[in-house]
Protein backbone atom coordinates (compact mmCIF):
# COMPACT_ATOMS: atom_id res chain seq x y z
CA UNK A 1 0.00 0.00 0.00
CA UNK A 2 1.35 3.38 -1.00
CA UNK A 3 0.14 6.94 -0.61
CA UNK A 4 -0.39 8.16 -4.18
CA UNK A 5 -2.19 11.50 -3.75
CA UNK A 6 -3.16 14.07 -1.15
CA UNK A 7 -6.03 16.42 -1.96
CA UNK A 8 -6.24 19.46 0.28
CA UNK A 9 -8.87 22.23 0.47
CA UNK A 10 -9.24 24.89 3.15
CA UNK A 11 -6.61 23.17 5.29
CA UNK A 12 -4.12 25.51 6.99
CA UNK A 13 -2.26 27.42 4.25
CA UNK A 14 -3.82 25.32 1.43
CA UNK A 15 -6.96 27.40 0.90
CA UNK A 16 -7.60 26.51 -2.76
CA UNK A 17 -8.15 22.87 -3.75
CA UNK A 18 -4.68 21.41 -4.30
CA UNK A 19 -3.60 17.91 -5.30
CA UNK A 20 -0.14 16.66 -4.44
CA UNK A 21 0.85 13.49 -6.34
CA UNK A 22 3.44 11.00 -5.23
CA UNK A 23 4.19 9.16 -8.49
CA UNK A 24 7.30 7.31 -7.31
CA UNK A 25 8.54 5.67 -4.14
CA UNK A 26 10.48 8.74 -3.07
CA UNK A 27 9.29 12.34 -3.13
CA UNK A 28 10.93 15.36 -1.57
CA UNK A 29 9.04 18.51 -0.64
CA UNK A 30 11.20 21.60 -0.67
CA UNK A 31 10.48 25.28 -0.19
CA UNK A 32 11.24 28.34 1.91
CA UNK A 33 10.42 28.56 5.64
CA UNK A 34 6.71 28.87 6.29
CA UNK A 35 5.60 27.76 2.79
CA UNK A 36 3.58 24.82 4.13
CA UNK A 37 5.87 21.74 4.03
CA UNK A 38 5.01 20.62 7.55
CA UNK A 39 1.33 21.38 6.90
CA UNK A 40 1.36 18.52 4.36
CA UNK A 41 2.48 16.09 7.07
CA UNK A 42 -0.08 17.55 9.50
CA UNK A 43 -2.69 16.85 6.81
CA UNK A 44 -1.75 13.16 6.64
CA UNK A 45 -1.84 12.77 10.40
CA UNK A 46 -5.12 14.66 10.63
CA UNK A 47 -6.94 12.33 8.22
CA UNK A 48 -5.71 9.28 10.11
CA UNK A 49 -7.81 10.57 13.03
CA UNK A 50 -5.39 12.73 15.00
CA UNK A 51 -7.56 14.21 17.73
CA UNK A 52 -4.96 16.31 19.52
CA UNK A 53 -4.80 19.87 18.18
CA UNK A 54 -1.42 20.27 19.87
CA UNK A 55 0.04 17.48 17.72
CA UNK A 56 -1.08 19.48 14.71
CA UNK A 57 0.64 22.59 16.08
CA UNK A 58 -2.63 24.41 16.87
CA UNK A 59 -4.77 25.23 19.93
CA UNK A 60 -8.12 23.88 18.77
CA UNK A 61 -9.29 21.56 16.00
CA UNK A 62 -10.78 24.49 14.05
CA UNK A 63 -7.22 25.90 13.77
CA UNK A 64 -6.63 23.54 10.85
CA UNK A 65 -9.18 25.53 8.80
CA UNK A 66 -7.72 28.34 6.66
CA UNK A 67 -8.17 31.42 8.84
CA UNK A 68 -7.69 34.12 6.25
CA UNK A 69 -4.84 36.27 5.03
CA UNK A 70 -4.41 39.89 3.98
CA UNK A 71 -6.00 39.10 0.63
CA UNK A 72 -8.37 36.19 1.41
CA UNK A 73 -11.30 35.70 3.76
CA UNK A 74 -11.31 32.69 6.12
CA UNK A 75 -13.19 29.61 4.87
CA UNK A 76 -15.75 27.51 6.76
CA UNK A 77 -14.48 23.95 6.22
CA UNK A 78 -11.23 22.07 5.74
CA UNK A 79 -11.06 18.81 3.83
CA UNK A 80 -8.23 16.39 3.19
CA UNK A 81 -8.40 13.27 1.10
CA UNK A 82 -5.63 10.67 1.02
CA UNK A 83 -5.61 8.28 -1.93
CA UNK A 84 -3.75 5.03 -1.41
CA UNK A 85 -2.66 2.63 -4.13
CA UNK A 86 -3.77 -0.77 -2.86
CA UNK A 87 -2.95 -2.76 -6.02
CA UNK A 88 -0.70 -5.03 -3.91
CA UNK A 89 -3.81 -5.91 -1.86
CA UNK A 90 -2.21 -5.05 1.48
CA UNK A 91 -5.52 -3.71 2.77
CA UNK A 92 -7.69 -6.81 2.70
CA UNK A 93 -11.04 -7.63 4.25
CA UNK A 94 -13.96 -5.76 2.72
CA UNK A 95 -11.51 -3.57 0.74
CA UNK A 96 -9.59 -6.47 -0.80
CA UNK A 97 -10.90 -5.81 -4.33
CA UNK A 98 -10.10 -2.09 -4.34
CA UNK A 99 -6.99 -0.90 -6.20
CA UNK A 100 -7.48 2.55 -4.72
CA UNK A 101 -8.59 3.42 -1.23
CA UNK A 102 -9.67 6.95 -0.52
CA UNK A 103 -9.85 8.28 3.02
CA UNK A 104 -11.28 11.73 3.62
CA UNK A 105 -11.87 13.90 6.66
CA UNK A 106 -13.73 17.17 6.74
CA UNK A 107 -14.11 19.58 9.65
CA UNK A 108 -16.42 22.55 10.19
CA UNK A 109 -15.81 25.67 12.31
CA UNK A 110 -17.78 24.17 15.24
CA UNK A 111 -15.13 21.42 15.36
CA UNK A 112 -17.32 18.56 14.10
CA UNK A 113 -15.48 16.13 11.85
CA UNK A 114 -16.90 13.78 9.22
CA UNK A 115 -14.98 10.84 7.81
CA UNK A 116 -15.40 9.09 4.45
CA UNK A 117 -14.02 5.82 3.08
CA UNK A 118 -14.15 5.55 -0.71
CA UNK A 119 -16.77 8.30 -0.67
CA UNK A 120 -19.09 6.70 1.89
CA UNK A 121 -19.55 8.30 5.32
CA UNK A 122 -17.90 6.26 8.07
CA UNK A 123 -16.68 6.49 11.66
CA UNK A 124 -13.25 7.61 12.76
CA UNK A 125 -12.56 4.14 14.05
CA UNK A 126 -13.34 2.56 10.65
CA UNK A 127 -10.41 4.53 9.27
CA UNK A 128 -8.17 3.68 12.20
CA UNK A 129 -9.18 0.03 11.85
CA UNK A 130 -8.00 -0.15 8.24
CA UNK A 131 -4.58 1.24 9.11
CA UNK A 132 -3.97 -0.51 12.44
CA UNK A 133 -1.12 -2.92 11.90
CA UNK A 134 0.18 -1.19 8.75
CA UNK A 135 2.45 1.20 10.67
CA UNK A 136 0.42 4.14 9.41
CA UNK A 137 -1.62 5.75 12.12
CA UNK A 138 -1.59 9.23 13.64
CA UNK A 139 1.14 8.35 16.17
CA UNK A 140 2.83 5.34 14.63
CA UNK A 141 6.23 5.00 13.09
CA UNK A 142 5.32 5.63 9.44
CA UNK A 143 5.77 9.33 10.18
CA UNK A 144 9.15 10.12 11.71
CA UNK A 145 9.09 13.66 12.99
CA UNK A 146 11.75 15.91 14.39
CA UNK A 147 12.84 14.60 17.79
CA UNK A 148 11.34 11.15 17.29
CA UNK A 149 14.67 9.35 16.85
CA UNK A 150 15.93 10.64 20.19
CA UNK A 151 12.58 9.78 21.81
CA UNK A 152 12.96 6.23 20.47
CA UNK A 153 16.51 5.94 21.78
CA UNK A 154 15.40 7.15 25.20
CA UNK A 155 12.12 5.20 25.27
CA UNK A 156 11.32 2.80 28.10
CA UNK A 157 10.99 -0.89 27.12
CA UNK A 158 7.18 -0.80 27.39
CA UNK A 159 7.06 2.21 25.04
CA UNK A 160 9.29 0.44 22.51
CA UNK A 161 7.02 -2.58 22.68
CA UNK A 162 4.16 -0.51 21.19
CA UNK A 163 6.25 0.04 18.03
CA UNK A 164 7.27 -3.61 17.82
CA UNK A 165 3.68 -4.73 18.22
CA UNK A 166 2.56 -2.39 15.46
CA UNK A 167 5.33 -3.68 13.14
CA UNK A 168 4.43 -7.28 13.92
CA UNK A 169 0.73 -6.59 13.24
CA UNK A 170 -0.34 -7.49 16.78
CA UNK A 171 -1.69 -4.08 17.79
CA UNK A 172 -4.83 -4.62 15.73
CA UNK A 173 -5.77 -7.71 17.73
CA UNK A 174 -4.86 -6.11 21.06
CA UNK A 175 -7.12 -3.18 20.24
CA UNK A 176 -9.99 -5.55 19.35
CA UNK A 177 -9.50 -7.47 22.60
CA UNK A 178 -9.47 -4.24 24.58
CA UNK A 179 -12.75 -3.19 22.95
CA UNK A 180 -14.38 -6.56 23.62
CA UNK A 181 -13.31 -6.51 27.25
CA UNK A 182 -14.73 -3.00 27.70
CA UNK A 183 -18.15 -3.92 26.31
P1 LIG B 1 9.71 25.49 8.00
O2 LIG B 1 10.68 25.37 6.85
O3 LIG B 1 9.98 26.70 8.82
O4 LIG B 1 9.56 24.23 8.80
P5 LIG B 1 7.20 24.88 6.65
O6 LIG B 1 7.31 24.90 5.17
O7 LIG B 1 7.19 23.55 7.33
O8 LIG B 1 8.29 25.84 7.30
P9 LIG B 1 4.59 25.14 7.75
O10 LIG B 1 4.81 25.10 9.22
O11 LIG B 1 4.06 23.93 7.08
O12 LIG B 1 5.88 25.67 7.01
O13 LIG B 1 3.55 26.31 7.38
C14 LIG B 1 3.39 27.41 8.18
C15 LIG B 1 2.48 28.38 7.43
O16 LIG B 1 1.13 27.88 7.46
C17 LIG B 1 2.50 29.73 8.10
O18 LIG B 1 2.67 30.70 7.10
C19 LIG B 1 1.13 29.84 8.73
O20 LIG B 1 0.63 31.13 8.70
C21 LIG B 1 0.29 28.97 7.80
N22 LIG B 1 -0.89 28.45 8.49
C23 LIG B 1 -0.96 27.55 9.49
N24 LIG B 1 -2.23 27.38 9.89
C25 LIG B 1 -2.98 28.20 9.10
C26 LIG B 1 -4.38 28.48 9.02
N27 LIG B 1 -5.28 27.88 9.80
N28 LIG B 1 -4.78 29.38 8.08
C29 LIG B 1 -3.89 29.99 7.26
N30 LIG B 1 -2.57 29.77 7.28
C31 LIG B 1 -2.12 28.89 8.19
MG1 LIG C 1 8.36 22.72 8.87
Predicted complex ipTM: 0.98
Ligand nearest to the CA of 32: 1
Rounded to whole angstroms, the Cα distance separating 136 from 72 reads 34
Per-run averaged pLDDT (10 residues), the chain, 183 residues: 95 97 93 95 89 81 93 97 91 84 95 94 90 72 83 90 84 85 88
Is ligand 1 within 6 A of the CB of residue 8? no
The 3-state DSSP composition of the chain as helix, strand, coil percent (nearest 5) reads 35, 20, 45
Burial of 114 (0-12, 13-18, 19+ CB in 10 A): middle
Indicate the annotated binding residues.
32-39
Which pLDDT belongs to residue 80? 97
- According to the model, what pLDDT value does residue 22 have? 95
Please give the DSSP secondary-structure letter assigned to residue 59.
S
Nearest CA to ligand 1 atom 25: 12
- Spacing, Cα 76 to ligand 2 middle (Å): 25
pTM score: 0.87
pLDDT at 138 (0 to 100): 58
**pLDDT reported for residue 32:** 97
Q: Name the DSSP letter for residue 163.
A: H
Q: Is the CB of 30 under 6 A from ligand 1?
A: no
Distance, in Å, from the CA atom of 173 to the CA atom of 175, rounded to the nearest integer, reads 5
Residue 110 CA, ligand 1 centroid: distance in Å: 22
> Are 15 and 66 spatial neighbours (Cβ–Cβ below 8 Å)?
yes
The reported pLDDT for the residue numbered 181 is 93
The residue nearest atom 14 of ligand 1, judged by CA position, is 34
Q: How far is it between the farthest Cα atoms of the chain?
A: 53
Amino acid sequence: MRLSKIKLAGFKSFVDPTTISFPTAMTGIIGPNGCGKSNVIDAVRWVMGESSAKHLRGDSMADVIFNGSSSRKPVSTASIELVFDNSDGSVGGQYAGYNEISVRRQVARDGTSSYYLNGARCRRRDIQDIFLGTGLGPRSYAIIEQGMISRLIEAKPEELRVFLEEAAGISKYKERRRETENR
